[in-house]
Amino acid sequence: MARYTGPKHKMCRRVGEPLCGSPKCPALKRSYPPGQHGPNLRQRKLSEYGVRLQEKQKARYIYGLLERQFRRYFQRAARARGKTGEMLLRLLETRLDSLVYRMQLARSMRQARQLVTHGHFTVNGRKVNIPSYQVRPGDVIAVREKSRNLQVIRENAETANPNLPYIEVDPERLEGKLLRWPERDEIPVNIDETLIVEFYSR
């Protein structure tokens, strides 16, 4: 399955914020692009196209998608009822790997994707190993019985403290439930989705 395999923190430093979600992200200390000319690049003003492109790249990086897959999500969002930008984020946020990360059973989106791909989770009692699986309200996500003693999952569950209103999580039972579709102000990503819509609508 295609995925981004480049430097983990290159995009974080380019935009000056920890897109990877790691509390130890280098962008927190060096909020400028990598390289010897990085500090000077931060002072340059982006064109309107550059601003829109950067916002789209941020969203792609956060959710770990390549361009073709991200564009398909945008096309689905454009066909749906409602604001295209908000529908796009809703589709991305209700992917299985995204919800595993939001349930805090994984330390990062990358780790969530790996755990799902390795078959450690079920949806409504059935094993699902497709990170892009679209979860719907009422679906229950749980750790497989055979994977409940996996050290990495146990460690994540012990420190888990999810507080998103659209997810109900039981860390003891290692499961969670998507209660409803998330609203835009509940999705914890620093993205201006209107710029993404403008980028694809140009």
Digit-by-digit pLDDT tens for the chain (202 residues) are 456 666 666 666 666 666 766 667 655 566 666 666 566 665 567 789 988 998 998 899 889 899 999 999 999 999 999 999 999 999 999 999 999 999 999 988 889 999 999 999 999 999 999 999 999 999 999 999 999 999 999 998 888 888 899 999 998 899 999 999 999 999 998 899 999 999 999 8
| Widest Cα–Cα separation across the chain | 53
This prediction has a pTM of 0.84
pLDDT confidence of residue 196? 96
pLDDT at 38: 62
C-alpha Rg value of the chain to the nearest Å: 18
| E-only strand ranges, the chain | 121-123, 126-127, 140-143, 167-170, 175-178
- Domains of the chain (ranges; CATH) run 10-88+189-200 (1.10.1050.10), 95-180 (3.10.290.10)
**CA dist list (Å): 31 to 6, 12, 22, 155, 184:** 19, 8, 14, 30, 26
Query: What per-residue confidence (pLDDT) applies to 54?
Result: 87
For 83, 133, 153, 183, the CA distances from 117, given in Å and listed in that order, are 31, 11, 14, 27
Query: What was the pLDDT predicted at 52?
Result: 93
Closest CA to 63 of 118, 6, 108: 108
Tokens 């130890």 -> residue: 24
Query: Residue 101: beta bridge partners?
Result: none
Closest C-alpha to 162, from 137, 139, 140, 188: 188
Contact 3, 60 (CB under 8 A): no
The pLDDT score that the predictor gives to residue 171 is 84
Report the DSSP beta bridge partners of residue 140: 177
- pLDDT for 44 equals 66
The two three-digit tokens of residue 30, written as one number: 């060096």
Tens digits of residue pLDDT in 38-94 = 666 655 677 899 889 989 988 998 898 999 999 999 999 999 999 999 999 999 999
